[in-house]
DNA sequence: GCATGATCATGC
DNA sequence: GCATGATCATGC
């Protein structure tokens, strides 16, 4: 643990070094707010009841800023949390009101030059009480059932239980209802939720400046006790067996299967939203809608691509901060269309709400590490292939052969992505039938 | 029939 | 102009 001196006057500042992850947070607390860094589990601004959290943003190629990481909210004590209720939880005591400081991440900049982009207060209970409580109870439920070692990021929507500690081997701790050691974990706002927080705070600010109206959002879980997947299932059941053309006709949507958001539009409408309305839970949880087409032979033709990787970025990243990790730990909503042998069209057969099981995520991690090492070594022609049968593979994902990006070796390489193997997708789809 | 490389279509 | 989701084309 870091033992800091109290910064009582500015002459101390120059003597102190802030390094590593969280250095900007320490700097803000000590120099700007004049409080000592501590790992005590009391609010940082005890009198105001405010917890200070800094959140890095990264600059995208197009100049826009995007949230870089999840926000970690404090270690989960497996032994004491089982005695708590959500309303009186340690989590709520510490994190009810959070003062968020979004800043632009710059590894090389001096701390005093770091650019703060947005400061605002977020009250997760005021905004999202139902789901945050549900998530908290899901996590605590696993601990109470002696399943702390099976906690997965995929279990929850907004509040996650992320792993803590440098390595798997050195971060195993006991749990109260099982002899199996579990990975030490902390509560966090999942990165998709942080993205949502940032986006909605920015929108609020811009709307107040420009006196603009914020687009309507629908909460599909509002006034309902069912889980989000049950609600989706019910809504989709009404359209099972129809072809996409008929569904569009029945919903009053244009039939335009090549449009990028065609299936997302259908989903939206099936769930009761208009084109100009937004689905709150999908945005706040970053749920990915993916379509799968099954041919007459019972198989899908295609693997599933994700956004292309940036070779210079991946060599510097930890697995858990990588784009691919964020993608794979999202909830997925697979919309399954099946080829109709009579008329060659596709009909809606199933929707599957899915998240990747921990052991598969671990396999994906190994492939990611393998890829990272090969990029580091400048080896761009021996990535994991689909034939290797390792759940995911690496493959080109470019506009054409000339569509290249820079590498750590300063050469140009074809854009590539991680892909989910087509067999793996088929397996998900065939084993988890959902609409009955 | 499938793996793999390559590319398309759309929208922001 | 490019990201992204999706799909095509070729050769083994």
Looking at the predicted structure, is the pLDDT value of residue A416 above 80?
Answer: yes
Answer for A192: CB within 7 Å of strand C.
Answer: no
Closest by Cα among A50, A285, A255, A57 to A190: A285
Distance A3 CA to C6 C1' (A): 53
Distance A386 CA to B3 C1' (A): 7
Segment A2-25 shows an average pLDDT of 49
Q: Choose from A75-84, A198-207, A258-267, A396-405 the range with maximum mean pLDDT.
A: A75-84
Using a 7 Å cut-off to protein CB atoms, list the covered nucleotides of chain B.
1-12
Beta bridge partners of A300: A294
Looking at the predicted structure, is the pLDDT value of residue A350 above 50?
Answer: yes
Looking at the predicted structure, is the pLDDT value of residue A57 above 80?
Answer: yes
Segment A191-208 shows an average pLDDT of 86
CB atoms within 10 A of CB A234: 13
Share of residues in chain A with pLDDT > 70 (%): 87
pLDDT computed for residue A355 by the predictor: 87
Chain length of chain A: 436
Whole-number Cα distances in Å, A206 to A202, A212, A307: 6, 8, 29
pLDDT computed for residue A35 by the predictor: 63
What are the structural domain ranges in chain A?
Answer: 5-205, 302-330+353-436
| A35-44, A168-177, A208-217: the lowest-pLDDT one | A35-44
Going by pLDDT thresholds of 50, 70 and 90, the confidence category of residue A144 is very high
pLDDT computed for residue A132 by the predictor: 93
pLDDT computed for residue A75 by the predictor: 94
What global pTM score does this model have?
0.81
Beta bridge partners of A99: A52, A121
Rounded to 10 deg, the angle between the A244-251 and A262-270 helix axes is 50
pLDDT computed for residue A46 by the predictor: 57
Share of residues in chain A with pLDDT > 90 (%): 35
Structure tokens at A181: 């050691």
pLDDT computed for residue A14 by the predictor: 45
Which residue has its C-alpha nearest to nucleotide C5's C1'? A260
Residues with CB under 7 A from strand B: A 256, 258-261, 297, 299, 303, 305, 385-388, 393, 395-401, 403, 414, 422-423
Q: What does the alpha-carbon distance between residue A220 and residue A216 come to, in Å, rounded to a whole number?
A: 13
Looking at the predicted structure, is the pLDDT value of residue A72 above 90?
Answer: yes
pLDDT computed for residue A100 by the predictor: 92
Q: Choose from A52-56, A129-133, A182-186 the range with maximum mean pLDDT.
A: A182-186
pLDDT of A357-409, one tens digit each?
A: 888 999 999 999 999 999 999 999 899 999 999 999 999 999 888 899 999 99
Looking at the predicted structure, is the pLDDT value of residue A431 above 60?
Answer: yes
Answer for A260: CB within 7 Å of strand C.
Answer: yes
pLDDT computed for residue A11 by the predictor: 39
Phi–psi pair at A173, nearest 5 degrees = -130, 160
pLDDT of A385-399, one tens digit each?
A: 999 999 999 999 998
| Cβ-based neighbours of A417, under 8 Å, separated by 6 or more | A305, A306, A307, A308, A309, A394, A395, A396, A397
Answer for A244: CB within 7 Å of strand C.
Answer: no
Segment A291-313 shows an average pLDDT of 90
pLDDT computed for residue A341 by the predictor: 76
pLDDT computed for residue A202 by the predictor: 87
Distance A92 CA to C12 C1' (A): 60
Name which CATH class applies to A5-205.
alpha beta
Whole-number Cα distances in Å, A149 to A71, A74, A163, A175: 22, 18, 11, 8
Angle at A192 between CA A285 and CA A86, to 5 degrees: 60
Residue corresponding to tokens 């019910």:
A234
| Cβ-based neighbours of A190, under 8 Å, separated by 6 or more | A70, A153, A156, A157, A158, A159, A160, A285, A286, A329
| Cβ-based neighbours of A185, under 8 Å, separated by 6 or more | A75, A76, A148, A151, A161, A162, A163, A164
Structure tokens at A75: 């270690």
Averaged pLDDT score across all residues of chain A: 84
Which residue has its C-alpha nearest to nucleotide C7's C1'? A302
pLDDT computed for residue A9 by the predictor: 37
Segment A29-58 shows an average pLDDT of 69
Segment A40-60 shows an average pLDDT of 73
């Amino acid at each position: 643990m870091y033992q800091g001196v109290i910064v009582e006057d500015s002459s101390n500042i120059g003597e102190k070094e802030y390094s590593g992850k969280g250095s900007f947070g320490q700097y803000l607390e000590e120099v700007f707010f004049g409080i000592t860094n501590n790992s005590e589990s009391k609010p940082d601004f005890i009198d105001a009841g405010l917890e200070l959290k800094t959140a890095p943003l990264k600059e995208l190629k197009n100049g826009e800023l995007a949230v870089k990481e999840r926000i970690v909210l404090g270690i989960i004590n497996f032994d004491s949390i089982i005695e708590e209720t959500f309303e009186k939880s340690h989590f709520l005591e510490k994190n009810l009101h959070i003062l968020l400081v979004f800043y632009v991440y710059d590894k090389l900049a001096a701390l005093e030059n770091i650019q703060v982009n947005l400061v605002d207060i977020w009250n997760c209970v005021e905004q999202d009480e139902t789901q945050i409580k549900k998530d908290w109870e899901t996590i605590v439920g696993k601990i109470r059932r002696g399943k702390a070692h099976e906690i997965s990021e995929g279990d929850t929507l907004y509040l996650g239980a992320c792993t803590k500690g440098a390595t798997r081997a050195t971060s195993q701790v006991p749990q109260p209802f099982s002899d199996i050691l579990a990975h030490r974990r902390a509560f966090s706002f999942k990165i998709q939720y942080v993205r949502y927080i940032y986006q909605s705070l920015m929108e609020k600010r811009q709307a107040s400046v420009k006196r603009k109206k914020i687009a309507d959002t629908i909460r599909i879980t509002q006034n309902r006790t069912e889980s989000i997947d049950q609600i989706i299932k019910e809504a989709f059941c009404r359209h099972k067996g129809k072809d996409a053309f008929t569904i569009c006709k029945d919903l009053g949507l244009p039939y335009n299967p090549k449009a990028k958001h065609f299936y997302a539009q259908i989903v939206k409408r099936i769930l009761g939203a208009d084109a100009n309305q937004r689905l709150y839970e999908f945005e706040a949880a970053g749920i990915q809608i993916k379509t799968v087409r099954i041919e007459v032979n019972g198989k899908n033709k295609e693997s599933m691509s994700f956004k292309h990787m940036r070779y210079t970025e991946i060599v510097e990243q930890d697995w858990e901060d990588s784009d691919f990790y964020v993608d794979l730990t999202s909830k997925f909503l697979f919309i399954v269309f099946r080829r109709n042998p009579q008329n060659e069209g596709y009909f809606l057969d199933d929707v599957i709400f899915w998240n990747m099981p921990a052991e598969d995520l671990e396999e994906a991690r190994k492939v990611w590490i393998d890829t990272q090492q090969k990029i580091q070594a400048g080896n761009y022609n021996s990535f994991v292939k689909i034939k290797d049968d390792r759940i995911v593979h690496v493959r080109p994902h470019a506009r054409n052969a000339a569509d290249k990006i820079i590498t750590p070796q300063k050469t140009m390489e074809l854009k590539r992505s991680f892909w989910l193997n087509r067999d793996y997708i088929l397996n998900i789809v065939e084993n988890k039938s959902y609409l009955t």
